[in-house]
Amino acid sequence: MGVLTIKGTLDIKQFWADGKSDADTSKILVAVDPAAMVYRKTPGSAAKNVFKVYSAAFSDNKLKKPVVKKGIITVRLQGIDAPELHVRPQSDRKLGSLAKSKNNNVQVSFEYRQNQAETATVHLGDKLKKTSNKQTIPCTFVTQLDHQKGPADAIDKYGRFVGDIFVGNTNLNHWLLEQGLAIVSLYNSLQDTEVSAYLKAWSTGKQKGIAQRYAGTVLQFDPNIVYRDPKKGARPVNEGSKRFILPKLYRRQCTWFAYNKLGKFPQDLQAFLHTKDNVDRFYEIKDFLDNGNAALQKPFSECVKNSKQMTRKPEAVIFKEATSSLYAKQGNQVKRLTSW
């Protein structure tokens, strides 16, 4: 099992309410030190610089999206999921455009927000501000990779690096779970030791912070809760005991609401979840830990009953990670390299 380590810097001002980044976070931007992007085939083995591998590659062959853009990478903190600070409904090719309906001029493509998203992000920002009196702080990104899968194992389908961020000796992924500022969210790309570490942190924090506001009941989608732009004067407020649902479900509920509002999908949320049964998959955690990727896959829709109730707790499931690919500037797919 290989280890990719990237040393860089983290701009604290990127987090809401100074910036737009949230707390899980899908938009942590790390300015990379090219000399410190290294890979070890096994922990403790000789380090090889792999900056050229990633700087010459793209995460999507159609979009040609750079993985390292102007010396900056985007990081998704693995093992966790925080309430959505800003999410737009995702277009579905089969259901058509989400643009305003020609019949009733309905607009649904807004940046929607979950309760407690602002609170979680503010607490993370406060934590980072206490580590330094400077706006930019040193950090280290670390992720374990399957050596046989090659460098693409480090990124998700959106070109984000997926792993842990350390500030000093603090693992931010674990800290967020321990403080109850995120929900545990496990994927089949994780190693068993990583799964155990996240579950331990979650058991410490699930009755704290915003985590205690997690609702096992599927809350009705509220289109009035939208992203509040700090550039327009938005400042933190006390979100009190307001509740939120599993962020992964909320993202799908958001898209369902948009198509339902436009009249393009009149059925309920449960029916919408079923339309994704071939791609939204999960494993029962015990089955996965016993059998790995040979475990029985199930549709995510099975985690919800009658659009009303979650049937499984966050710690009981392992989600199936969508595959990712890297492409060189010439357009060839980057697989396991001799130099890797």
Q: From first to last of its 340 residues, what are the pLDDT tens digits of the chain?
A: 899 999 999 999 899 988 888 776 645 678 888 899 999 988 888 999 999 889 888 887 777 788 998 888 999 999 999 999 999 999 998 999 888 765 567 889 999 999 999 999 999 999 999 998 888 999 999 999 988 888 999 999 888 999 999 999 999 999 999 999 999 999 999 989 999 999 999 999 999 999 999 999 999 999 999 999 999 999 999 999 999 999 999 999 999 999 999 999 999 999 999 999 999 999 999 999 999 999 999 999 999 999 999 999 999 999 999 988 888 877 788 876 555 6
DSSP letter at 179 equals T
Burial 314-323 (b: 16+ CB within 10 A, else e): bbebbbbbee
- Asked whether 285 and 312 are in contact (CB, 8 A), the reply is no
Task: State residue 27's pLDDT score.
Answer: 52
Partnered with residue 92 across adjacent β-strands are 96
- What is the C-alpha separation between 310 and 217, in angstroms, rounded? 6
Looking at 2.40.50.100, 3.90.1010.10, 1.10.1740.10, 2.40.50.90, the CATH number of the domain 2-334 comes to 2.40.50.90
Count CA atoms closer than 13 A to 132's CA, side-chain side.
14
DSSP string, 24-71: S-TTEEEEEEEEEEEEESSTTSPPEE-HHHHHTEES-TTTT-BSSBTT
At residue 256, the 3 state secondary structure works out as helix
List Cβ neighbours of 233 (8 Å cut-off, separation of 6 or more): none
Task: State residue 115's pLDDT score.
Answer: 98
* Domain layout of the chain by residue ranges: 2-334
